[in-house]
Amino acid sequence: MSELYKKAIEVLENNWRGRFSIPCAKLYPFQWFWDSGLIAIGLAHFDMEKAETEIKTLLDSQWGNGFIPHIIFHSESDSYFPGPDFHRSDLHPQSSKKYNSTGMTQPPVTGFVLEEIYRISKDKKATLKFIESTIDKVFFNHQYFYNNRDPHNEGLVYIYHNWESGTDNSPIWDDIWDTMNPPEYTFERRDTTHVDPSQRPSKREYDHYLYIIDIAKEHNYSDAKIAELSPFLVQDPLFNAMLIKSNESLIYLYEKLGKHEKVSQLKKWQEKSIQSFNSKLFDEEIGAYVHYDLRNERPLQFLSSSSFSPLFAGIPDEERANAMVEVMLKKFGGEHQYLCASFDPTSERFNPKKYWRGPVWINLNWMLYNGLKKYEINDIAQRVKQDTIDMLQNNGFYEYFDSRKEMHNNGKAGYGGNNFSWSAALLIDLLEG
């Protein structure tokens, strides 16, 4: 086992909190939905029991309507803003009575995480038993999305907050902030006491974030009201690709279990989703998938690492996939750049140090690697893998990384939180792969 692998295990062990993992000490002291799923993939390689517990705890927070929240506040902590008192999940009549949480969700990774855990497992029989005990909750979560987040019955679900996307301050949202004028909130940020403020979102961006939550709270987090009133309503290619990839995994796992009742429903969702995804979210001019602003009925024509995430879910046909990779290499893949920046490096909105406005993120790279392999674009897949390992090796297990190679000479090109869980977890999976 290499030193790097050992260090990754150490990061995960330090971030383990008995029943779940935190993404990163101080900066993110609770359980986050998609972090939890991706972390479980890493845990499964060396401690299957922890991997299963991680997922069980996550699913235990599920609401009566199938919804799974983006943050589960397992403890009191004053190192995080906005905390449970701001989010007030109790306003929703079907929210969990057991856990405080936010009233928003995150990319639905759980379905494909179960399949990954099964793939990694050395005791398939035992793992299948675990999957049997959890899979219906994941199905129920997908049912929540299709029944409540798809007002035009297109097979594409919306997100109502940028924090639901997982790509919090992407420049894509700037176009939506331009349509809003939220009040100036008075609050004390905590993130900027842990991390250099130049690497985090601005105060004015936070005003927008809080204002959307206030609108949802005013209506007790009613999905119908949010669909009607939220100024932020977006069909996000990353989010929908995660749902589609997870649908596919649920079909595979239900068939493995010999439980067929839910398969035809899943196949119906899947067919419609993939069809709409390809017809509505693919942008011919840009040559990749883009976000759609459902509130203002317009595509948001920007390239980001989310634009390539459909490869992971097998959404484009082979010809389109190859053409997309050409676009990616041209814009993101120059010889002085690590793959894959989170936002178009040729855009004036690109900022290689600021969170989701440019830096490379390990989770998106892991998806890209697996997506490229699926289409047998193996040379570029290997490049993404090697770039990822090099960045972690040279800088440590940071949250995000500068995409400019010259910035990596002194080992200080990792930004945001350090000892970040999914960076460690997905490195383990890459090293095993």
Positions marked catalytic: 168, 399
Query: With respect to ligand GLC, which residue has the nearer C-beta, 82 or 287?
Result: 82
Subset of residues 174 to 233 that bind ligand GLC, contact rule: CB under 6 A: none
Find the radius of gyration of the CA atoms of the chain.
20
Query: With respect to ligand GLC, which residue has the nearer C-beta, 11 or 135?
Result: 11
Least distance to ligand GLC, CB of residue 32, Å: 4
Is residue 6 within 8 A of residue 45, CB to CB? The reply is no
Query: With respect to ligand GLC, which residue has the nearer C-beta, 34 or 397?
Result: 34
Of 211, 213, 220, the residue nearest 95 (C-alpha): 220
| CA–CA separation, 414 and 402 (whole Å) | 7
Least distance to ligand GLC, CB of residue 264, Å: 33
Phi/psi for 285 (5° steps) reads: -65, -45
- Candidate list 29, 166, 287, 333; residue touching ligand GLC; CB under 6 A: 166
Query: With respect to ligand GLC, which residue has the nearer C-beta, 27 or 59?
Result: 27
# residues near ligand GLC by CB under 6 A: 7
Instruction: Take residue 211 and report the two structure tokens written for it.
Output: 């204002």
Question: For 285, which DSSP code?
Answer: T
Query: With respect to ligand GLC, which residue has the nearer C-beta, 30 or 146?
Result: 30
Least distance to ligand GLC, CB of residue 361, Å: 8
Instruction: Take residue 4 and report the two structure tokens written for it.
Output: 């790097």
Residue 28, beta-bridge partner list: 24
Least distance to ligand GLC, CB of residue 46, Å: 21
Query: With respect to ligand GLC, which residue has the nearer C-beta, 166 or 316?
Result: 166
Least distance to ligand GLC, CB of residue 416, Å: 8
Does the protein bind ligand GLC through residue 23 (CB under 6 A)? Answer: yes
DSSP H or E run through 369: helix 362-374
Find the residue with minimal CB distance to ligand GLC: 23
Q: How many CB atoms lie within 10 A of CB 6?
A: 9
Stretch that binds ligand GLC, among 26-34, 142-150, 180-188, 238-246 (CB under 6 A): 26-34
DSSP H or E run through 252: helix 237-257
Query: With respect to ligand GLC, which residue has the nearer C-beta, 92 or 357?
Result: 357
Residue 414, beta-bridge partner list: 401
Instruction: Take residue 34 and report the two structure tokens written for it.
Output: 């998609």
Is residue 403 within 8 A of residue 182, CB to CB? The reply is no
| CA–CA separation, 332 and 403 (whole Å) | 9
Cβ-Cβ contacts under 8 Å for 30 (sequence gap 6 or more): 22, 71, 72, 73, 74, 75, 77, 80
Q: What SS3 state is found at 292?
A: strand
Subset of residues 27 to 46 that bind ligand GLC, contact rule: CB under 6 A: 28, 32, 34-35
| CA–CA separation, 137 and 133 (whole Å) | 9
Least distance to ligand GLC, CB of residue 195, Å: 11
Is residue 101 within 8 A of residue 95, CB to CB? The reply is yes
Chain CA centroid to CA 362, Å:
11
Instruction: Take residue 203 and report the two structure tokens written for it.
Output: 């105060």
| CA–CA separation, 385 and 325 (whole Å) | 15
- Candidate list 47, 90, 168, 174; residue touching ligand GLC; CB under 6 A: 168
Subset of residues 319 to 358 that bind ligand GLC, contact rule: CB under 6 A: none
Q: Please give the single-letter amino acid code of residue 341.
A: A
Is residue 373 within 8 A of residue 430, CB to CB? The reply is no
Query: With respect to ligand GLC, which residue has the nearer C-beta, 82 or 166?
Result: 166
Residues of this chain that bind ligand GLC (CB under 6 A): 23, 28, 32, 34-35, 166, 168
